[in-house]
Amino acid sequence: MRIQSGLTAALAVLMLLLGANADAASEKLTVLNPLGQPPAIARIPMAPRLDTLDGKTIYLVDIGFTDTHQLFTEMQDLLKSRYPKTAFEVRKKAGVYYEDDPELWAEIKAKGDAMIIGVGH
Amino acid sequence: MGIPIVGVVTTAFSNLVISYSGKQGMPGERFAFVPHPITGVPAAKCRAYLEGQDPVTGKPVLDELVSSLTGKLTAEETATGFIERPIPRVVEVQDTEENLTQLFHNNGWTDGMPIVLPTEERVAAMLKGTSHAPDELVGKMQASAPHEAWSYTVEKVAVNAVMAGARPEHFPVILAIASTGAPALFTSTTSFARMAIINGPIRNQIGINSGIGALGPFSQANAVIGRAWTILSMNLCGGGRIGETYMGSQGNNFNYNNLTFGENEEQLPEGWKPLHVQKGYEPGDSVVSVFNGWGITHADQSFGKDFHPQIPRWLQFISPWSPAILLLDPSIIKQLKDSEGFASKEQLIDWIYSNTKVKAGDYWENYYSVQNFTRPSAEKGVEPYASWLKLPKDAEIPQFSRPERITVISVGGETNLFWQAGDFGYLSSASVDDWR
C-alpha cells in the first residue's frame, strides 16, 4: 500500500511538471520591436520629360568605375546612328565614383537637355 | 538638376537602386539594366548588351533609355509631400516563443542562430546596466554611405543586446559601440569585416578576454558583445538586407562576432602604450575602438632571429591600398623591446612604415583598389599620390601611405611567440564609462 501511494504521488508531480512545461511552450509572449527609426521620406518630383530628342543635347556620364568607359562610347555610337538630329556628349565624372563633380553638373545644366548616367561595376 | 535623367545599372544592383531611389524620395526613378558586370567587358560585348533586352524588364535597352527621358510622367513620379515610416514599439504579433523566434529569423532580424526574445522584463533588466534613460538618443547609423541614416534610443539598443544573449554588465560596451554609428555589416561588394578592441578596467570587470584564446569562443563577454554589434547593425539601420543593404559578394565569417577582444595591457612593457592611451584617453578610462578591414592571417616566422626585419616580407600579402594591423602576442612585444630595442609602439610603427615598400609600377598597375580609388585622387592632384604617379616604375614608395595606417596591438597569453596581421584600419573610439 505504502509503495503504491508513493508511486501515485510521484506520478502526480510528474504530471504537474509536464503540464507546466506545456503551458510555458504555448504561452503567448509580447516582445519589443528591434528596429531603429528610419527617417521620413521627402518626395521629390521628377523633372519633366522631353517631347522629342531632336535638336537636343544628351550627356552620357560615366561615373568612373574602373574599365567601364567602353559602355558609354558604344552607347554614344549606337544612339548617334539611331538619332542623327541629337547630340550625344560622353563625359567621365571627375574623382572616385562616389565623389561629387559640381563642375560637370554645372556644364550639363547649362548645355544639356537630359542625362544618362551609370554604371557601377 | 531639373533635367530628365535615367540611370543605366548592372543587374546585380537592380534591387539596391530601386530601393535606394525610393528612400531618397523618387520611388519611380527610371532605370535601364544591363548584365553584370561591365568592368573589363570588351566593347563589342557592351554593344551587344545595349542592343539587347534589359534582363530585368525584358524591354530593349536603347528603347528603355530613350523612353525614360521622353515618356510622360505618372502621378506617382510627380508626387510631393512626406512618407512617414513609424516603427511600433512592440511587435504586433503575440505568439509562442518558438513562433516568435522563427518570425524574427524570417524578418531578417537575427544572425540565424538562436536568440533570446526581447520581452519587456528582459529589456527592463538590460536597461539596469546603464544609468541612461531608455528614450535617450544613442546615435545614427547607415548601412554605408550614401544609404539613409536611422536613429535609435537606449531602449532599442537594449532590445538588440537581449537578443544577442548579453547581460546587463555588458550593456555599456554595447552602447558605446552603437554610439560610434559604425555598422558591423558595412555594405560593399567586397565583404568587409569589423573589429572591436576593448581597453581599460572594464575588461577585467566584465570578463573580457585579452589573454589565452582572446580571439576564440572562450569568453561570454567577447562572444555576446561582438554578436550584439552584428544584430544591432541589422536592425538599427536596416542593414544586412541581401541585395539591398548588403552586397558583399562572398560575405565574411568575421561578421558573426566582429573580432571582439581586449588588448592585453597588463603585459605591455614600459613605454608601450595601450591603444586607448594612444588615442588620447587616460589609462584608467574604459574604451572601445572599432576597426574596418577584411581579414587576418598568420605568417610563419623564424625563431631565434630578430622579429622586426621579417615584418616587411610578411606584410606583402596586404594590398598597398589597405591599412595594416599587427596582433602581437605579448611575448613578441617583450622581445621587440628587450632584445631589438623598440622602446614604444610608435617606434616600431615608424620602422615598419619606413621599411615596407612597393614598386611604383606594381602599385599603379596591379591593384584594383588603387586603380579605382587612389588613381582618381592622384589625377586630381591629391598628395602624396599625385607625386607617386610621376615616379618611374621601379621607384620604391611606402606600402602604407602614412604611419597612422599601421596599428600594433598586444593580445594573447604568451603560450607561443605568435602573431597575426590583417588589413584592418582604425575608425573611431568611444568611452564605455560614458554609457555606464
Contact between B3 and A47 using a beta-carbon 8 Å cutoff:
yes
Tally of domains within chain B = 3
Q: Does B317 touch chain A (CB under 8 A)?
A: no
Helix, strand, coil content of chain A in percent (nearest 5): 40, 20, 40
* Residue B336 is assigned to a structural domain of this protein: no
C-alpha cell of residue A14? 510528474
Q: What is the pLDDT of residue B304?
A: 82
Q: Does B166 touch chain A (CB under 8 A)?
A: no
Using an 8 Å Cβ cutoff, are B345 and B403 in contact? no
Indicate whether B168 and B252 sit together in one domain: yes
User: Whole-angstrom Cα distance, residue B259 to residue B193?
Assistant: 8
Q: What is the pLDDT of residue B300?
A: 80
Using an 8 Å Cβ cutoff, are A74 and A90 in contact? no
C-alpha cell of residue B125? 533588466
Indicate whether B55 and B112 sit together in one domain: no
* Chain A nearest CA to B164, separation (Å): 11
Partners of B115 on chain A (C-beta within 8 Å) are none
Contact between A39 and B377 using a beta-carbon 8 Å cutoff:
no
Backbone angles phi, psi at A62, to 5 degrees: -90, 120
Among B78, B112, B134, the domain boundary falls at B78
Q: Is B312 helix (H, G, I), strand (E, B) or coil?
A: helix
* Residue B260 is assigned to a structural domain of this protein: yes
Among B50, B78, B106, the domain boundary falls at B78
Q: What is the pLDDT of residue A121?
A: 83
pLDDT tens sequence across B131-153: 999 999 999 999 998 899 999 99
Indicate whether B193 and B244 sit together in one domain: yes
Q: Does A77 touch chain B (CB under 8 A)?
A: yes
Indicate whether B171 and B279 sit together in one domain: yes
Contact between A66 and B72 using a beta-carbon 8 Å cutoff:
no
Question: Which of B47-51, B371-375, B400-404 has the least mean pLDDT?
Answer: B371-375
pLDDT tens sequence across B26-59: 988 999 999 999 999 999 999 999 999 999 999 9
Tell which A residues from 8 to 27 touch B, by Cβ distance under 8 Å. 24-27
Interface residue of B5, B144, B154 to substitute, partner A, most A CBs within 10 Å: B5
A72: enclosing H helix or E strand: helix A69-82
pLDDT tens sequence across B238-258: 999 999 999 999 999 999 999
Q: Which candidate from B82, B141, B160 shows the least CB-CB separation from A34? A: B160
Contact between B145 and A118 using a beta-carbon 8 Å cutoff:
no
Partners of A43 on chain B (C-beta within 8 Å) are 25-26, 79-83
Contact between A43 and B84 using a beta-carbon 8 Å cutoff:
no
Backbone angles phi, psi at B95, to 5 degrees: -160, 180
Indicate whether B70 and B102 sit together in one domain: no
Backbone angles phi, psi at B223, to 5 degrees: -65, -50
Q: Does A110 touch chain B (CB under 8 A)?
A: no
* Chain B nearest CA to A93, separation (Å): 10
Taking CA atoms, A108 is separated from A9, A65, A74, A85, A93, in Å, by: 89, 20, 20, 19, 11
Q: What is the pLDDT of residue A95?
A: 86
Q: What is the pLDDT of residue A8?
A: 62
pLDDT above 80 (res B1): no
* Chain A nearest CA to B102, separation (Å): 13
* Chain A nearest CA to B73, separation (Å): 7
Indicate whether B251 and B179 sit together in one domain: yes
Q: State the pLDDT confidence band at A98, using cuts at 50, 70 and 90.
A: confident
Contact between A36 and B150 using a beta-carbon 8 Å cutoff:
yes
Q: Which candidate from A43, A51, A71 shows the least CB-CB separation from B80? A: A43
Check residue B35 and give left, alpha or beta (phi > 0: left; psi -120 to 50: alpha): beta
Mean pLDDT of B278-292: 98
For residue B362, the enclosing domain spans 357-398
pLDDT tens sequence across A25-83: 889 999 999 999 999 999 999 999 999 999 999 999 999 988 899 999 999 999 999 99
* Residue B392 is assigned to a structural domain of this protein: yes
Q: Identify which has the larger pLDDT, A10 or B308.
A: B308
Partners of A70 on chain B (C-beta within 8 Å) are 41-43, 46
Contact between A66 and B39 using a beta-carbon 8 Å cutoff:
yes
pLDDT above 80 (res A15): no
